[in-house]
């Protein structure tokens, strides 16, 4: 039997310690990566038993759930039921944590929806393929960001009162108390505070009464309408998917929905990166900040200046 000297045993012990330390570091890295992965939005479905284009988003370190997204609520000239988001969607979770949903209308078109969770927002890609025998007409989508689940079991209490209300009361509070003073629409590099203006609004933001949460949605296509719902706690943007779509062709739109805790400047920079707008921001924008009743207010030199006006 081989006899091990104390020196040899010492070398073995050191080697074992180094190996264990290496394994510990590797395990720690994996755990750290896991923690980072967990700091993204969680996607669930309004109707788990019948998943459709109606999703619930929970953001890390924010109110749970955070918001509901209808993807979209309406689509022009599409042969779907009254509300598009009620149609069943074949959702599949991908390895990177994203969700891919498919819905097909026979002899008309196939729609693919991609959801990629981020820290404080969700990236959305919505694609329509024309499977019909003739070109499709102008297609407009009506995307809805909802601060509750339609007046049922939950509402985001960062925007609505902690005491539960019904759908109608939620909508009135959201419209009259929150959106009336806290709505900002970004159009062609300038901000407007008119929530119901028919603007080419690339970004729509609603700030809560505490001025510490900024709900937003943004799209990379022209928008033909914005509106704040008084019948429910939601905001809408209506981007144009395409002016026409030939047989066999595809049209795609990309957007982001989320809630920022940093303010309008963070939302603006997110839009800049999204649209690949060069930094710094364009020359100062001299636009009036309009109130809800469209009375003229003070001028705004750039999006960042609005932050001080909110405090």
The full DSSP string for 33-73 is HHHHHHSS-EEEESSTTS-BSEEEEE-TTS-SS-EEEEEEE
**Least confident among 35-49, 76-90, 103-117, 281-295:** 281-295
* The predicted structure's pLDDT at residue 159: 96
Q: Which two tokens stand for residue 16?
A: 């074992």
- Looking at domain 42-309, its CATH architecture is Distorted Sandwich (2.70)
Highest mean pLDDT among 7-21, 113-127, 266-280: 113-127
Written as six digits, the tokens of 136 are 């499709």
Q: Considering only CA atoms, which of 141, 211, 221, 225 is closest in space to residue 182?
A: 211
Q: Which residue has the tokens 């905001």?
A: 235
- CA neighbor of 255 nearest in space, from 90, 165, 127: 127
34: confidence class by pLDDT, cuts 50, 70, 90:
very low
Higher pLDDT, 115 or 188: 115
Q: Among 153-157, 256-260, 265-269, 296-300, name the one with the lowest average pLDDT.
A: 296-300
- CB-CB contact of 91 with 99 (8 Å): yes
pLDDT digits (tens, 9 = 90+) for 121-150: 999 999 999 999 999 999 999 999 999 987
In terms of C-beta density within 10 A (0-12 exposed, 13-18 middle, 19 or more buried), how is residue 79 classed? exposed
pLDDT at 210 over 90: yes
* Closest by CA position to 288, among listed 206, 210, 192, 155: 192
Which positions ≥6 away from 24 have C-beta within 8 Å? none
Q: Is the per-residue pLDDT at 283 higher than 50?
A: no
Judged against a pLDDT cut of 60, whether residue 78 lies above it is answered with yes
Strands 214-219 and 299-300 come out as unpaired
Mean model confidence pLDDT for the chain? 79
pLDDT score, position 299: 32
The larger pLDDT score, comparing residue 77 to residue 293, is at 77
């Amino acid at each position: 039997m081989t006899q091990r000297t104390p020196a040899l045993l010492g070398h073995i012990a050191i080697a074992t310690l180094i190996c264990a330390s290496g394994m510990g570091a590797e395990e720690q890295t994996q755990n750290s990566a896991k923690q980072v992965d967990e700091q993204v939005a969680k996607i669930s479905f309004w109707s788990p038993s019948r998943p459709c284009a109606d999703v619930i988003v929970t953001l890390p370190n924010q109110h749970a759930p955070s918001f509901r997204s209808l993807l979209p609520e309406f689509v022009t000239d599409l042969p779907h039921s009254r509300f598009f988001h009620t149609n069943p969607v074949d959702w599949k979770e991908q390895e990177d944590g994203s969700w891919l949903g498919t819905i097909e209308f026979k002899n008309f078109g196939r729609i693919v929806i991609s959801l990629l969770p981020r820290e404080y927002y969700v990236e959305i890609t919505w694609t329509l393929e024309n499977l019909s025998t003739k070109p499709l007409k102008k297609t407009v989508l009506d995307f809805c960001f909802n601060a509750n689940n339609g007046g049922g079991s939950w509402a985001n209490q960062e925007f609505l009162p902690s005491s539960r209300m019904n759908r109608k009361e939620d909508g009135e509070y959201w419209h009259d108390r929150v959106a009336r003073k806290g709505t900002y629409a970004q159009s062609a590099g300038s901000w407007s505070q008119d929530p119901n203006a028919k603007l080419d609004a690339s970004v729509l933001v609603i700030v809560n009464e505490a001025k510490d949460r900024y709900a937003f949605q943004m799209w990379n296509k022209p928008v033909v309408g914005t509106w704040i719902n008084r019948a429910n706690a939601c905001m809408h943007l209506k981007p144009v998917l395409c002016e026409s779509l030939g047989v066999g062709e595809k049209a795609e739109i990309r957007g982001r929905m989320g809630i920022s805790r940093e303010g309008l400047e963070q939302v603006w920079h997110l839009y800049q990166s999204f649209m690949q707008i060069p930094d710094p921001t364009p020359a100062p924008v001299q636009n009036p900040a309009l109130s809800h009743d469209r009375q003229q207010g003070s001028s705004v030199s750039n999006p960042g200046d609005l932050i001080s006006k909110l405090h």
